[in-house]
Amino acid sequence: MKRFIFFICGILLAFAGYIAFAFYISRVPAAPPLPAGIPLINASDLANPASFLSGGRGSASVRRIYNPALSFKSAVRIRTLSRPLHPYETQLRVPTTAPVRAGDALAARFYVRKPLFAPAKSRVDFIFEEAGGDYKKSVSLPVEAGLRWRRVDIPFLSAGDYPAGKAHITFRAGYDPQAVDIAGFELINRGQAGWQTSFAPAGFYEGREAGAAWRTAAEERIEKIRKGDIEVKVVNPDGTPAPGAAVRIKLLKHSFSFGAAVSSNFLFAGNREDDKRRYKETFLKLFNSATIENGLKWPFWSGEEKTRTDKTAAWLNANGIKLRGHTLIWPDWEHMPDGMEKLKREPEKLRAAIRNHIKEEAAYYRGKAAEWDVLNEPLYHQEITGLLGQAEVLKWFQYAREADPSAKLYVNDYDLLDDFGANTEQQDRYEAFIRRLLESKVPLDGIGLQSHYKWDLTPPARLLAVLDRFQRLGKPIQATELDIDIPDEKLQADYLRDFMTAVFSHPAVEGITLWVFWEGVHSVPGPALYRRDWSKKPAALALEELLLKKWRTELDGTADGQGEFRARGFLGTYEISASGGKTSGSLKTVLTKNGASVIIKLK
């Protein structure tokens, strides 16, 4: 009898726990009201959602679900049964009911979640686009759904003039088998009000909050792996200890590579001298590594462009800045010199032209370029390798090694850290590609992971998981081409801070390269940190806080009774000085993971 009672109690407790959990995940986050505006979507249009499912009808289902506990009472559930050939083959479309002008400020709100027993990952893309024609998009926002309702607020500007019905919203769900619930959708037009007036984005990456668990763990790793112990012993001119001597420890240059792309055309063409001065000063203040944005790519490496690139490389070397060469081969016709496509029917001449270029350029910068992206974006650009065969890739790395044995050789590709870090198909392909290189004994020294972001901000915890995956390949990693092209400046700053913190904390990573730091040299200014007039966006302030304060070591102290002073600092090159009375001394040293111990003799 007791067993039966315990059994019943267990069932009741489990049921109560399930009810409590179901109630917990069904709660809807509180939200302020949307600002005033003209509604662009009729809620009744979602009454029969199946009629709006376009393409992929055999691989998806759509239905309305009801829940009286929800403030919006009902939701639409899109279930992807099998992955279509293209993501747009499974999507829900709803046309606009009122006209929209180019530049109008639109504000969208919706809630997403995945059902309790759905597959592990659920993703839906929210899109506002032209209905037909080029399907010009005003916004394309990938959103991940968890078990709890997630509110998404997104302000954006209309990219064109659209009469009623000539634009539509789309919820795209053509990914791996999944289910996602969408509810509480609203879309309003606020006219020419500016994109963010009284309406800020919400519902973006997890882990943004100050007390996030990943952040505490990352700070602990940074303290452990990015710092070392410094021991300073100060002695008098006669060699005896100098107790009470003043000691100063200053980091001159990080061992970790903090870099950015530079424009050789801007630096050594035109006459904007004041901007050039600010550009150089800002770069040298922040960075110790550089990628010449275009000048080292094959189509640009000739004539006056090459002359400016040479001058840029010389300027970088003169200032102790490491040069990352980008790139020796970008294997499609679009990224090769004019006329190369004529060799499509003469593969042996094409092989020879690529071989000669790699050897020539790598040898030309021998001793100047510390690293090379030998191969850029091999997964998406396969016109050349498809023609010559994948085995040719192995030779390209060997040619680069022969031309410059001291340069570290990288492969570089994208859709790995970005896209929420959820593009496992691309990650699988990249890992398999790199494994083939390593198994073939290719001289590959490192792995480049491009980091171009729009709204697809990868949560820091997942960034670390992707880095863990590629760490298993046993080669150093660099986060390359980092830019965050979103109009919300506070969100941009927060994500830059968190991306850099997470990546800097990972033991396999040796560098981070930003792609756009000043608006004045880029046609797309959104990702820039500094505005055209050199005023600082919040992202610039976030970067400076990290590189010039938080991750900088500059200490003053006093030698103890034995003339010794101990400290802990970031790994890198240091200037250490000491003084006592009318005597002083200084030296430079390199702090490694094994620490640094120096003796300063006062003179």
Here the tokens at position 18 are 């399930």
DSSP 552-579: --EEEEE--TTSEEEEEEESEEEEEEEE
CA nearest 72: which of 122, 111, 45, 114? 111
Is residue 10 very low, low, confident or very high in pLDDT (cuts 50, 70, 90)?
low
- Confidence (pTM): 0.86
Here the tokens at position 366 are 């021998």
Mean pLDDT of 254-269: 94
Sheet holding 246-254, edge to edge: 554-558, 246-254, 572-580, 583-591
Domains and CATH numbers, the chain: 32-189 (2.60.120.260), 256-380+390-547 (3.20.20.80)
Residue 11's pLDDT is what?
A: 63
DSSP 346-364: -HHHHHHHHHHHHHHHHHH
Three-state SS at 221: helix
What CA–CA distance (Å, rounded) separates 270 from 596?
Answer: 46
pLDDT tens, residue by residue, 154-191? 888 899 999 999 999 999 988 888 999 998 888 999 88
Mean pLDDT of 501-509: 98
Mean pLDDT of 447-470: 94
Residue 9's pLDDT is what?
A: 58
In 404-534, DSSP assigns E strands to 408-413, 446-453, 477-484, 509-514
Residues 6+ apart with CB under 8 A from 407: 325, 362, 365, 366, 369, 370, 371, 372, 400
Residue 223's pLDDT is what?
A: 97
Residue 548's pLDDT is what?
A: 97
Helix residue ranges, H only, 440-577? 460-471, 489-504, 538-544
Amino acid at residue number 404? D
pLDDT tens, residue by residue, 87-106? 888 888 889 999 999 989 89
In 199-318, DSSP assigns E strands to 227-235, 246-254, 257-262, 289-292
Statement: residue 17 has pLDDT above 50: no
Side-chain-side CA neighbours of 286 within 13 Å: the count stands at 25
CA nearest 223: which of 501, 512, 574? 501
DSSP H helix total and E strand total for the chain:
12, 26
The mean pLDDT of the chain is 89
Q: Higher model confidence: residue 508 or residue 1?
A: 508
Is residue 142 very low, low, confident or very high in pLDDT (cuts 50, 70, 90)?
confident
Helix (H) or strand (E) holding 597: strand 596-601
Is residue 24 very low, low, confident or very high in pLDDT (cuts 50, 70, 90)?
very low
Residue 503's pLDDT is what?
A: 98
Burial 36-65 (b: 16+ CB within 10 A, else e): ebeebbeeebbeebeebbebbeebbebeee
DSSP 8-state secondary structure symbol assigned to residue 548: I
Measured on CA atoms in the order 487, 489, 493, 498, is the torsion positive or negative?
negative
Q: What are phi and psi of 222, to 5 degrees?
A: -60, -45
Evaluate whether 137 touches 128 at the Cβ level (below 8 Å).
yes
Residue 160's pLDDT is what?
A: 92
What CA–CA distance (Å, rounded) separates 312 from 39?
Answer: 53
Here the tokens at position 140 are 């394309």
Is residue 48 very low, low, confident or very high in pLDDT (cuts 50, 70, 90)?
low
Here the tokens at position 176 are 């791996």
Amino acid at residue number 153? D
Residue 194's pLDDT is what?
A: 64
Q: What are phi and psi of 103, to 5 degrees?
A: 90, -5
Q: How far is CA 492 from CA 155, 488, 521, 546, in A?
A: 14, 6, 20, 15
Q: How far is CA 159 from CA 37, 103, 104, 105, 167, in A?
A: 18, 6, 8, 10, 11
Owner of token pair 């919400």:
202
Helix (H) or strand (E) holding 587: strand 583-591
Angle at which helix 213-225 crosses helix 489-504, to 10 degrees, equals 50
Angle at which helix 424-439 crosses helix 391-403, to 10 degrees, equals 60
Statement: residue 21 has pLDDT above 70: no
| CA angle 428–323–553, rounded 5-degree value | 95
Residue 22's pLDDT is what?
A: 45
DSSP 36-57: S-EE-S-GGGGSSGGGGEES-G
Residue 214 CA from chain centroid, whole number: 17
Statement: residue 77 has pLDDT above 70: yes
| CA angle 419–175–133, rounded 5-degree value | 85
What CA–CA distance (Å, rounded) separates 455 from 154?
Answer: 10
Is residue 18 very low, low, confident or very high in pLDDT (cuts 50, 70, 90)?
very low
Residue 415's pLDDT is what?
A: 92
Mean pLDDT of 31-35: 80
Beta-bridge partners for 485: none
Q: Higher model confidence: residue 556 or residue 271?
A: 556
The rounded percent of the chain whose pLDDT value lies above 90 is 63
Statement: residue 72 has pLDDT above 80: no
Statement: residue 123 has pLDDT above 90: no
What is the chain's length?
603
Here the tokens at position 392 are 């040719």
Q: Compute how many other C-beta atoms are within 10 angstroms of the C-beta atom of residue 2.
A: 6
pLDDT tens, residue by residue, 317-351? 999 999 999 999 999 999 999 888 889 889 999 99
| Preceding peptide of 282 cis, ω within 30° | no
pLDDT tens, residue by residue, 536-580? 999 999 999 999 999 999 999 999 999 999 999 999 999 999 999
The rounded percent of the chain whose pLDDT value lies above 70 is 90
Pairing type for strands 257-262 and 91-95 reads unpaired
Beta-bridge partners for 583: 580
Q: What are phi and psi of 480, to 5 degrees?
A: -110, 160
Statement: residue 443 has pLDDT above 70: yes
